Amino acid sequence: MNWPLEAFLSFLAAGAFGIIFNIPKKTLISCGLVGMSGWLFYRSYFLMFDDPIQATFAGAFIVAIVAHILAKIFKMPMIIFSVAGIIPLVPGSRAYNAMRNIVENDYMEAVDFAVQALMISGAIAMGLVFAEVLMQLYFKYQARRTQKKMGFTQE
């Protein structure tokens, strides 16, 4: 696998998706970085453990974490950064193979691909959920610490 090439391509693809979704111009580059980090993490996890579902979960998790951090920095809604990063993880080729096998009347193969596509979609959703919960806990903890520092505690 060619790391710099994949990094460049995923960066370009995520930035292009940013244009399709009309994100603000100054966030295009950071949007590309989100897509790049998600894809690279997904690929390296996939090459290490050879499990597309876990790898997609890890990729979506990283995308959401990076998007949350950027949303805090830019003070903008988090979806602006996460949408384009999620797209490369969508199980396009598996859904396509499922469809092609249905057309060719090979239903056993089709069900196999369709279930994989479904599990990967679920993994994307779970990755987003886990990152969201983690970031919320962290922000709450941070807010409480600043409140304590300023003497605003309820106790």
Binding to another protein in span 31-60, by CB under 8 A: 39
Is residue 4 close enough to count as binding another protein by CB under 8 A? no
From 47-55, 119-127, 142-150, give the range in contact with another protein by CB under 8 A: 119-127
3-state secondary structure the chain: CCHHHHHHHHHHHHHHHHHHCCCCHHHHHHHHHHHHHHHHHHHHHHHHHCCHHHHHHHHHHHHHHHHHHHHHHHCCCCHHHHHHHHHHHCCHHHHHHHHHHHHCCCHHHHHHHHHHHHHHHHHHHHHHHHHHHHHHHHHHHHHHHHHHHHCCCCC
Question: Considering only residues 49, 73, 100, 107, which one is a binding residue for another protein as defined by CB under 8 A?
Answer: 100
* Contacting positions for another protein (CB under 8 A): 5-6, 9-10, 12-13, 15-25, 27, 39, 75-77, 79-80, 82-84, 86-88, 90, 92-93, 95-97, 99-100, 102-104, 121, 124-125, 128-129, 132
